[in-house]
Amino acid sequence: MSYTSAVHPQPTPLPHAWALLLRAALALATGAALFLGMLAALIVGYDLYHAGRIYSGVSLAGVDLSGLTPEEAAIQINRAITYPVTGRIVLQEGQKVWTATPAELGLYLDPQASALLAYRHGRQGSLSQRLLDQFQAWYTGHDLPPLMIFDERAAYAYLNRIALEIDRPTIEASLSVQGIDVIVLPGQVGRRVDIPATLQPLESELRKLTDALLPVVVQESPPVILDASAQAEIARKILSQPLTVQVPDAQPGDPGPWQFDQQALAGMLVIERVESPEGAQYRVALNAANMRSFLESIAPGFERQPANARFIFNDDTRQLEVIQSAVTGRSLNIEATIQAINEKATAGEHTVSLVFDYTDPQIGNDVTAAELGITEPVSVQTTYFYGSSASRIQNIQIAASRFHGILVPPGATFSMAEVMGDVSLDNGYAEALIIYGNRTIKGVGGGVCQVSTTLFRTAFFGSYPIVERHSHAYRVSYYELTRSGNVNPELAGLDATVFVPVVDFKFTNDTPNWLLMETYVNVQARSLTWKFYSTSDGRTMEWDTTGLRNIVEAPEPLYQENPDLAEGEIRQVDWAADGADVTVYRTVYRNGQIYLQDQFSTHYQPWQAIYEYGPGTRIPKDRGDNSD
């Protein structure tokens, strides 16, 4: 049995130098570890020594607080730092001085917060930062500023007390009136302590904890107006005699003149300061509000709207004839009048004319038919009102006259209500039967709808666009009468009602020419004729009607007792009418093409006859409807 043994190399011995180096390194590592251990022990011991105490070398405003607890430090700080009560701040303005302690000006020491600030030094930040702060304080010392509280309110109050001795108002040279005497007084330079500007350096000096001499900042405000004698002379001129306001070129019937005596002028005199390129000065004038109130009270008496001339077309000469001259509009220009009064019065004048604005009418008296494009009648319609009462005829005449000679501009929409205006007793209308709600009653203006119906038909058959039209609540026989006095049912649906200002009738003059309207009431013939004059553009019109449909008979008559009637007296107050529906169609052609198509649908309600009778009256069972 044989064995084979491995041959292992032998370790190479280290050189002697390397062995020395290794031993030295081990020695150094051991020394460093001992040093760090001693250093750590020293730091821990230093911290333990200063546990709850301010680190060595820390001072506040020169007061050494090393090793003191915060409570001890606060006592030491409060004892050592006496600047708030022993310091002196001298405030000066001119020859006057005021001496105050910092505490009086609102500066207070906070010893507890200051002590806490010192205690925290070396205890904040990272470990390295804390160790560095502790070392620097121990090695070189570290002085902290005290924590002071500055209450600006106390300083503000102190300066306010100083201001009471310094401040004085600016007084301008004054100009006033006593009675009718003009008084002038000199002015005074105003002075005011600028507290914010004084506080800014004061706070800065107080935080230095040193005595100081500081100026009180004062702003001066000299009067802007030093001499008011020229304006006083103007005021004296105004008050020297009465002022007269008149209408320029006054005609008989014009109001005025109006006179204001010196006492009234003195009450209206206004003295105010105004800026000008030469500087501020007083302006003397009469009170615009007072004058405006007076002028507004008289202005309505001068108000006049511009109105076109009214014409009729002479069918023989084919020229226009003036039947009512054009009216130039006039209105009192209140602001311009106020300015004129002041300009004249301050110049020493004592008679002033009112200022008016004038507005020319669109159409004057000298316009020709050719200029307006009026050459021929383009639509003429007549309605009849047989059986109308005198009051109804009166209303038809008055309403129709409002439109006689009126011109409608090309492209304009004509409103009947605007031209007719207020339907009232004051405007000449009488009481007649009208439809109001679901009753026929007496009311002012009954019969006006005869006029609106005639206008509607003239515009309808003249092929003009109808913008607004309202039918009556029930069929009214007046609007279906023919010249012979018979009722033509084919005219049903061609009525129009107006009730100013709620219900209107409107149509548009859609031609390039003016439209002249003429109205003629023939009382004997009981007819109203409305004429349109213009120039035809070649349009033609076809119309058709469905006739009366869906006819509903009128309800049985209603009898009501009226204590104002005598026994046996019976009076009819409403008249029966059958209800029905009707639609009127219209097609307007121009140049062979359909230009306009429209329709007018009307629903008439069945209407009940109503009778009133006196107490005790016997009502006949067979009594029927006596409408007329």
| Average confidence (pLDDT) over 589-596 | 94
Preceding omega of 501 cis (within 30 degrees of 0): yes
Centre a 10 Å sphere on the Cβ of residue 393 and count the other Cβ atoms it contains: 19
DSSP H or E run through 78 = helix 70-80
The domain locations on the chain are 39-86+102-160, 166-221, 229-359, 369-613
DSSP for residue 491: G
Burial of 592 (0-12, 13-18, 19+ CB in 10 A): exposed
Least confident of 37-51, 410-424, 485-499: 37-51
Q: What is the distance between the alpha carbons of residues 56 and 52, in angstroms, rounded to a whole number?
A: 12
**DSSP bridge partners of 212:** 89
Chain-centroid distance of CA 573 in Å reads: 52
Burial of 468 (0-12, 13-18, 19+ CB in 10 A): middle
Looking at residue 2, what is its pLDDT? 36
Looking at residue 278, what is its pLDDT? 75
Res. 13 pLDDT band, cuts 50 70 90: low
**DSSP bridge partners of 181:** 178
| Average confidence (pLDDT) over 607-618 | 85
Looking at residue 189, what is its pLDDT? 86
**DSSP bridge partners of 219:** 192
Q: What is the distance between the alpha carbons of residues 37 and 34, in angstroms, rounded to a whole number?
A: 5
Res. 433 pLDDT band, cuts 50 70 90: very low
CB-based contact 166:193 (threshold 8 Å): yes
CB-based contact 169:190 (threshold 8 Å): yes
Q: What is the distance between the alpha carbons of residues 501 and 628, in angstroms, rounded to a whole number?
A: 29
pLDDT tops 70 at residue 612: yes
State the residue for tokens 């007329």: 628
Residue range 229-359 forms a domain whose CATH class is alpha beta
For residue 5, which phi and psi values (nearest 5 degrees)? -105, 140
Among 263, 312, 267, CA closest to 518: 312
Helix, strand, coil proportions of the chain in percent (round to 5)?
Answer: 30, 30, 40
**DSSP bridge partners of 260:** 243
pLDDT tops 50 at residue 444: no
Q: What is the distance between the alpha carbons of residues 182 and 201, in angstroms, rounded to a whole number?
A: 49
The better pLDDT of the pair 476, 530 is held by: 530
For residue 352, which phi and psi values (nearest 5 degrees)? -130, 140
pLDDT digits (tens, 9 = 90+) for 116-138: 999 999 899 898 899 999 999 89
Q: What is the distance between the alpha carbons of residues 214 and 93, in angstroms, rounded to a whole number?
A: 9
State the residue for tokens 């205690």: 119
The string of DSSP letters for 138-193 reads: HHT-EEE---EEE-HHHHHHHHHHHHHHH-B--BPPEEEEETTEEEEE--B-EEEE
Preceding omega of 410 cis (within 30 degrees of 0): no
Structure-derived torsion over alpha carbons of residues 218, 221, 222, 228, reported in degrees to the nearest 10:
-160
Q: What is the mean pLDDT of the chain?
A: 87
pLDDT digits (tens, 9 = 90+) for 145-189: 998 898 889 999 999 999 999 999 988 888 888 888 888 888 888
